[in-house]
Structure 1
Amino acid sequence: MDSIEVRNLAVIALKDNTDAEDRVYSPRDWPTRSDLFPLILIQTHSDDKKGIDRNVPKFNTTTTLRITARVEEFDGESNEDGAMNAEVKLEELQEQILKSLINSYELTRRIEKYSSVSSRVDIDSSGEGHIGQLLMLVSVEYFQGPDDFYPVISDDRKEVDMTLVIPDGTTQPKVKINFEG
C-alpha cells in the first residue's frame, strides 16, 4: 500500500457515486471549464511516514488526499439565489464524497483508520455564474512494512571472496558460491 494506491482507490470510490458522476479526475490540470461541472479533482496532498522499528523499514504512514469539488450555479429569474444554490450543492457533494470513501470496501479494508477530515467551502461570484469550490483534506493511516519496499534493486554480484579462519588441524572447508545463471 502506498499513496498512489490510496489515491487510485479514492478515485474508484467516488466515480459514479456522487453528483459528479464519472467526472472524477486524478491526476489532471487544475484549471477546469464550467461545462464539466460538477467535477471532483483528487491529488495526494501529503504523505508522512513515522518509523516504528529500528533497522527494519516499518512505518505508520498517513496519506492526506486533497479532494476538490467544483460546481457552478446561476441566479434564478426572480431572485438572486445562485450563491446559495452553489453552497447547497457543495454541501451535498461533501456528504456524498465522505460517504463514498467510508463505504468503499476496497479502500476501508486496506487502511487502518481515517485520521481526519477537514472541509472548506468557497463561493466566487465575480463572473456570470457563482463558482463554488469544496476543498476536503482526507487523511488515512496505514502500515507499510518491508514488503512495501522490496525488492531492493542492486548491482549484480559476480563473485564472493571469503577468508575463513579455522583452528590448526581442522579440515579446510571448501566454499563455492555461484551467482551466474
Structure 2
Amino acid sequence: MNAAALRVLIIGALTGKTDAAGRVYSPRDWPTSEDMYPAILVQTPFDLKNSLGRNVPQFTTVTTVRITGRLQELDEVDQDNGAEKAEVALENLREQIERAVINSYELTRQTQQFLQVRSTIDVNAGGEGHTAQLLMELDIEYYQGPEDFYPIDTTPLEGIDVTIKQSDGTPEVYATFDLPQ
C-alpha cells in the first residue's frame, strides 16, 4: 500500500456512489467548468511515515487524501435561493462522499483506520450562478513494511567453505557446499 494505491481505492469508492456519478477525476488539471458539475477531484498531497524500529523498513503511514467537490446552482425565477440550494447540495455531497469512502470494503480492508476527517464548505456568487466547493481531507493510516519497498541489494551467496579445526596430529577435514542458483 502507498499513497498512489490509496488514491485509486478512493476513486473506486466514490465513482458512481455520489451525485457526481462518474465525474471523479484524478489526476487532472484543477480548473473545472459548469458543464462538468457536480465533480469530484482526488489527490494525495501529504504523506507521513513514522518508523516502527531500527534497521527494518516498517512504518505506520498516514496519507492525507484531499477530496474536492464542486457544483453550481442557479437562482430560481423570482427567488434568490441559489446560495441556499448550493449549500444544501454540497452538504448532501459531503455526506455521500463520507459514506462511500468510510463504507468501502476494499479501503477498510487494506487500511488501519480513518485517523481524522476534516471538511469545509464555500459558496461563491461571483459567476453566473452560485459556485460551491467542498474541501474534505481524510487522514488514513496504514502499515508499510519491507514488501512495500524495493528489496535491499545484496551479494548473492554462491557457496560455503567450512574448515573444521581438529586437535594436533589429526588430518584437517574440509567440507565444501555448493549452492544451486
Per the normalisation by structure 2, the TM-score is 0.88
Q: Match for residue 76 of structure 1?
A: 76
Contact 2:159/2:179 (CA < 8 Å) preserved in 1?
no
Give the number of the structure whose alpha-carbon radius of gyration is greater.
2
SS where residue 107 of structure 2 aligns? helix
Larger deviation: 169-178 or 74-83?
169-178
* 1:81 shift after superposition: 1.1
* 1:165 shift after superposition: 7.5
How far apart are the structure 2 equivalents of 1:176 and 1:135? 62
Q: Match for residue 173 of structure 2?
A: 171
Between the two proteins, what is the percent identity of the paired residues? Answer: 45
SS where residue 172 of structure 1 aligns? strand
* 1:102 shift after superposition: 1.0
Higher relative strand content: 2
Contact 2:43/2:65 (CA < 8 Å) preserved in 1?
yes
SS where residue 174 of structure 1 aligns? strand
SS where residue 173 of structure 2 aligns? coil
Change in 2 beyond 3 A, CA 1:52/1:176 = same
Instruction: Say what the alpha-carbon RMSD is for the aligned residues.
Output: 2.2
Matched residues, number: 177
Q: Which runs of 5+ in 1 are unaligned?
A: none
Q: Match for residue 130 of structure 1?
A: 130
Contact 1:159/1:178 (CA < 8 Å) preserved in 2?
no
Pairing 1:1-181 to 2, within 5 Å after superposition: 1-152=1-152, 154=153, 167=165, 170-174=172-176, 176=178
